[in-house]
Each structure stands twice: as C-alpha cells, then as structure tokens.
Amino acid sequence: MTNENETGAEPTDPRFAALPCRPGKIIAVHLSYVSRAEQRGRRPSAPSYFFKPSSSVAASGGTVERPVGTELLAFEGEIALIIGTEARHVGQEAAWSHVGWVTASNDLGLYDLRANDKGSNVRSKGGDGFTPIGPTLIDARTVDPSALRLRTWVNDELVQDDSTAELLFPLAQIVADLSQHFILERGDVILTGTPAGSSVIVPGDVVEVEVDSPSSGASSGRLTTTVTQAEQPAFDGSLGSLPAVDDTQREEAWGSRERAGLPDASVRLAPTLRAKLERVPVAGLSQQLRKRGLNNVTIDGVRPLHPGAKLIGTAKTLRFVPNREDLFLSHGGGYNAQKRAFDAVGEGEVIVIEARGESGSGTLGDILALRAQAQAAAGIVTDGGIRDADAVAAVGIPVYSAGAHPAVLGRKHVPWDVDVTIACGGTTVQPGDIIVGDADGVIVIPPAIAEEVADAALAQEDEDAWIAARVAEGNPVEGLFPLNAEWRARYDADTGAR
C-alpha cells in the first residue's frame, strides 16, 4: 500500500489527497459485472463508457449533498484503477503493467437527472462530490487483478460483495480497450463498474466501500461518505431540464420494483394459458367477460396492421399527455418515456399506449417497431396514429392503431410516463393486464380471472361449433341457439358433457 507522499501527489487540494495527482480523465464503465447484468436484464458484448469530471472527486470522510427536489441518489461501490504510466495502443497482455494503483470508489448518481443525459451521465453523475475515491492506494504490482474483492456497506449493513472473477470484461481488457481510443495518462482514473446491490441512499445514510486482495491482505481501507440534504434549490428550469422521475428510473435506482415499493409489472403468461388464448377468438373472450359483469374491456377504435396475426401478451403501459410546448421541451426530447418504454419492454409484453384517441400524429414509427421486435415484445397497441405505416407493417410485429398519420409525435403529444395505469381506446389498462387481439379487435383481461375466462370461452367455442353443425344440417335456430333443454340434452349426449 502507499499514500500521497509516496506517489508524489500535489497536496494542494484535499479532494485529491488519496491520488498521485488531480486526474486528467475519469472514465467509467457502464456495465461490467455479471450480477449487475443479470439484474438489468441485458448483457453487453463489449464494454461501453462515460466520462466524469475531475471536479466530482471527493476524499474519504466527506459528504455528498442530495439536491432539493430529487429523490433518487444512488451509490455504486466500484474498484478504481489509477494509471501509473502512459498507455496508448497497448495489448491486453501488457495493459495491467500500466496500472499504478488500485483503490475504492463510489460512483454516485442522481437518477432524477438521467433521462435527458442519453447515457452520457454528464449531469446525473458529474455533480460535486459524486466520485469519492480512496482512502489508500494499493500497489497494482502486488495484486492479482482477477482476484480483487469489492464490498460496500450502508449504515454498517453489507450490501455489495463481489469479485473481479465475476467481471464480464477483465480489468486488463478495459485498460487495453480504452488505450485504443486515446492516451491514458498518469493519474487518469478508470471506474470499473458496480455489481448488483446498488440502491438509493437518503440524507443521514453512511456509505462505506472497500477494495482488498484476500490473498495478500492489501486493502484500500474503507472509503466513507455521508449523505446530507441540500438546503438551496439547485436547478433552474429556464436554463435546462429539471429533475424528473418515473417508475422505470425508480426501479433501476433502487435495484428492483419491490425495493422501490412498486407493484409487480413482470407478470408473464403461463404457457398453458397462452395456448388456450391462442385457440379462443376475442369475440368469445368478450362474451365470457360480459357474463362476469365486465363490459368495458375492449380497446375501441384500433385496427390491426396484420389482421391474420393473433396478439397475446401482458401489458407494458406508456402514457402520452396533450402537447404543451414547455412540457415537450422538458419531457419530449432525449431519452424520453417513449424511448424508455421500447427499450425496457420484455419478452411477451405488449406496449399499450394511451394517446387519448388522438390520431393526428404518430405515436411510433418503424425504428421503435424494430426495437420492440428485437426485444421479443408480443406487439403494440396504440389508440393514436402511427408513422411510416408501410415500414411498420413490414417489421411484422402485431400492431393495432387508430390509423396512419405522417406527423411526428410532438405535433399532438408529450411522452409522459411508463408502467402506470392508463386509458387506451376507452378502457383502463394496468401493467400486467392480459392483452388479446385478433381481426375483431383488442380486449383486456384481468390476470386474476384469465384462466377461468379462457376455459369458459373454450367450452363455449365447442358448444357453438356443435350448434353451427346442426344449423348447417337444416335445423332452425329457435331453441338451438341458445340451447333449450331438449337440445342441451342432445348436446350432452353427443359430447359426453356433464
């Protein structure tokens, strides 16, 4: 281990006391641990990065402020690599020799500001004090980069415990990859990603991060940061977008919908239920729902681009509000709710869009239809219009809409929220509701009664088929449709029904 005097640091700013010098660059990896990738539901094939300003560095024992009007400040315990000697176009075999030191870091982030950063994290992770590093440097030559341990505690509770053996990309690969693109200079810092367990912290919480080498006993010591509440407003909406959160941001910040206090939106259809729904027309389901007192369950005013394709899935909801120029400025651009919904849709889910029946602009086009298809979504239902209708149809994913329109989204709508209860085509749709569509239209089935409704509809289909055969034989419909006692007895005898 070493300290700032032994590394030749410039002891002029206490923020950089644990480092050899003020970093010229801080580069952070987006996603690097297997556990985090599994939690996020995506596994990148190559590392990707973002920059953090050196002004965000803080020393151990300091504080970080949660700005006024925000709720989703999250910690991320990480291993920090500090470059010791310049690296440019180095191979993976030689890359570790250019790392001078290893220590602990906390890649703090404010999810309230993430949406409009489009993955750059400039505002959400660049705040003052958002990169605590230290307190002690470990000589990189004395440790095995594949056997470093990372642990994080919040209020003395261990919340992260992982090893570099569980990285998607070895530390040396990350260094070598970055050196392909620019010079890594002495003092540059690489934050190597966080494992599962990252979550929201609130004023009064104390976060501690430690990196160590269990085999050698070398340790960074515990990097300690206390969360405080800012007293003065931090953001002026006239200068830029204001903090904004939705349930997607809450889920990712907290680490799960359960921890965020959100309802389970991950309902999936059992294969047996899906098979039953494949066999039942929407008209038959509507009949059974009506028998159970549910009359307002059809999404009206939408027609399929592919009338021959059956749509079956669980609802992932997206809500648009009427366009207002100031609101579109703050919520319509960047990584807005519409784009987040299409990026987050899961296998077998149906994106259901509330557009208030306003078909005077598009609510999606072919790019988003392609994204939904790539995510293995079951389909898309919107009570608004679609742009590039022919191109959307060519994608092949089932789509129901109020019609085609060439105008862009901003003419009529502001994308507002995802995974909330919405109104689409005159009916209420909640996340996880079961959506079924065919040439007759689209219906919404409450999950709690879906199996019962499907079984009853299948039984009714069998009965209707038997009745149709009797009518085709020349029998009148009176007494046959519906079955009177005499015909019912004949049906039971023919089919073995009880």
Mark the binding-site residues, compressed into ranges: 365-368, 387-388
Residue 256 token pair: 């799960």
Q: Is residue 81 within 8 Å of residue 171, measured between CB atoms?
A: yes
Amino acid at site 412: K
How distant is the alpha carbon of residue 101 from its chain centre?
Answer: 34
Could you give the CA distance from residue 229 to residue 152 in angstroms, rounded to a whole number?
22
- The DSSP line for 377-421 is --EEEESSBBSSHHHHHHH-S-EEES-B--S-GGGTEEEEEESS-
Q: Which residues belong to the annotated binding site for substrate?
A: 365-368, 387
Would you tell me how many other CB atoms lie within 10 Å of the CB of residue 333?
14
Which of 349, 342, 231, 158 lies closest to 149 in space, CA to CA?
Answer: 158
Residues in the chain: 498
Could you give the CA distance from residue 253 to residue 7 in angstroms, rounded to a whole number?
36
Distances (CA, A) of 486 to 224, 480, 493, 498: 82, 9, 11, 15
**Beta bridge partners of residue 313, listed in sequence order:** 435
- The bridge status of strand 379-382 relative to strand 441-445 is unpaired
DSSP state of 131: E
- Collect contacts of 474-483 with beta carbons under 8 A, ≥24 apart: none
31 CB-near residues (< 8 Å, 6+ apart): 37, 40, 42, 44, 47, 48, 168, 193
- The bridge status of strand 311-322 relative to strand 434-438 is antiparallel
Residue 364 token pair: 């999606």
Torsions phi, psi for 219 (to 5 deg): -145, 150
Torsion of CA 313, 317, 323, 325, to 10 degrees: -130
SS (H, E, C) 7-68: HCCCCCCHHHCCCCCCCCCEEEECCCEHHHHHHHCCCCCCCCEEEECHHHEECCCEEEEECC
- Could you give the 3-state DSSP secondary structure of residue 245? coil
Q: Which residues belong to the annotated binding site for Mg(2+)?
A: 388
Alpha-carbon torsion (73, 79, 83, 89), positive or negative: negative
Across the beta sheet with 189-191, the strand order is 49-52, 26-29, 189-191, 77-83, 99-106, 131-139, 57-58
Could you give the CA distance from residue 107 to residue 221 in angstroms, rounded to a whole number?
17
